Homo-oligomer: A and B are copies of this chain.
Amino acid sequence: MVSSNHENAAGSLAFPKRLWGKIVGFALRLKNLGKDDPRRMIHCFKVGIALTFVSLFYYFKPLYDGFGLDAMWAILTVVVVFEFSVGATLGKGLNRMLATLTAGALGIGAHRLATLSGETGEPILIALFVFIIAGIVTFLRFIPQIKARYDYGMMVFILTFCLISVSGYRDEEVIRMGFERLSTIVIGSCAAVFVCTFICPVWIGVDLHNHIATNIEKLGNFLEGFEDGYFKISEDGQPINKSSSLQGYKSVLTSSSKEEIMANLAKWEPCHGKFRFRHPWNEYLKVGSVTRQCAFKIESLNHYLTSEIQSPPEVRSIIQGECTVISSECGKALKELASEVRKMTKSSAAEPHITNSKAAAENLKAVIRSSLSKHCNFLEIIQAGAVASLLFEVVKCTEEIAGAVHKLASLAHFKNAKPRVTPETQELPSQGAVNPVSGIDGAHHVITIDPSQSLRESENSSPPVLDPRMEV
């Protein structure tokens, strides 16, 4: 009995404790949410400011007398239109204003037409118009291109048409009503767009731009870390650099719909910073698509880091040298490409790395032909073979990404990088040459790379570099 009382007391204490724990946990989550992207906090302030601003219409009598209760449409518009990014806000605002204008005009026309048919005919005709227009516009919303950019406008179109034509039945001043609705919506939309654009703007185009660069970088990180993950085995037979730090690329696999939404919103944005009005946003989608193709190969490659069936270390060590060169050179090339995108400067810094990786791929084929096939147990080397085969694919994908990035660079008029002509670059060959050298563990190869280039790399991980073919 005593112990049961004890338990009850503990239980009654446990509940507030749990509740407190939950509250603290929730507060911590909110804090992290703000920390992850401080622009979120600013966005909240901006919404507050825009709403407080439009509610002035109620407080100041001269403004209120002009619009009356219709001023609430301005508040409603700000709440509905105000989005996180400029592109989304501008898109919604323009959609809303344009749809209100056209649907309002059509609604007034429908109302006039209906009044001609007498008192009994009027509601029937209006109901018919509403049914037909709502049906047609709802169907148009299914067209993918319209859904992507004008869905909100279509909804507002139905809304306004119904409100104007139906309200007209009771309220004779249908034109005044339409005009007031339009003007309050224009005021609300403009307030939202103004605050969103001129107070710490969040450009979704910049976000997309950085998102694409980050994705390419993530693949580069994986490839640079691949050697440690696959070849460097710790004493307990497990790879040293297992998963976690290499798993960043996973988000690339499923980012396609996010990119599409971002590109559609970015198209609404005016010119800002280095982005012109008709910036080639669709090219970003193409770069994103080839990046994802490469991520699929890397997903397969990643599997061999964690696979239970592994080629034994002695087999792996045969291909280690060339595989390391391929993955690290591809990784470097991808990081150079990411930096080219991020800095918006035309650069061919990735080319030597791609050439090196291709040369290493040829060498790897030679190694496989000469050394690996002497190995007696085929089943043991098949995994190593699959890794090699995937690395060949990665080289091809890297070239494709380079092609897509260069096309983006030329269409988006990226600036030329500042030329840095040093005496060495004129004397030495501009690209690394691969010389086979027989090593101890199988057949290792040494890459002799342009010294000016290795110097550059030690100075800065992704600097603007000289492209001999580039017009200065």
Contacts and interface: CB of A to CB of B under 8 A. Distances in A.
A45 interface: yes
Given A43-B138, A51-B162, A138-B44, A378 B373 contact: yes
Contact of A299 (B170, B296, B373, B376): B296
Interface stretch (A12-20, A72-80, A232-240, A400-408): A72-80
A414 interface: no
Interface stretch (A126-134, A344-352, A445-453): A126-134
A108 to B, nearest CB: 16
A319 to B, nearest CB: 11
Interface stretch (A276-284, A322-330, A389-397, A415-423): A389-397
A69 interface: yes
A142 B29 CA distance: 11
B34 A139 contact: yes
A365 B386 contact: no
Nearest to A59: B123
Given A41-B139, A254-B257, A254-B292, 11 more contacts: A33-B142, A48-B130, A51-B131, A58-B167, A69-B167, A79-B155, A80-B155, A257-B258, A309-B392, A378-B385, A382-B389
23 contacts: A33-B142, A44-B139, A45-B135, A47-B135, A48-B130, A48-B134, A48-B135, A51-B131, A51-B134, A55-B126, A58-B166, A58-B169, A59-B123, A69-B167, A75-B166, A76-B159, A79-B159, A257-B257, A372-B378, A382-B388, A385-B386, A386-B386, A386-B390
Interface of A: 29-30, 33-34, 40-41, 43-45, 47-49, 51-52, 55, 58-59, 64, 69, 72, 75-76, 79-80, 123, 126-127, 130-132, 134-136, 138-139, 142-143, 155, 158-159, 162-163, 166-167, 169-171, 253-254, 256-258, 292, 296-297, 299-300, 303, 309, 365, 368-369, 372-373, 376-379, 381-383, 385-386, 388-390, 392-393
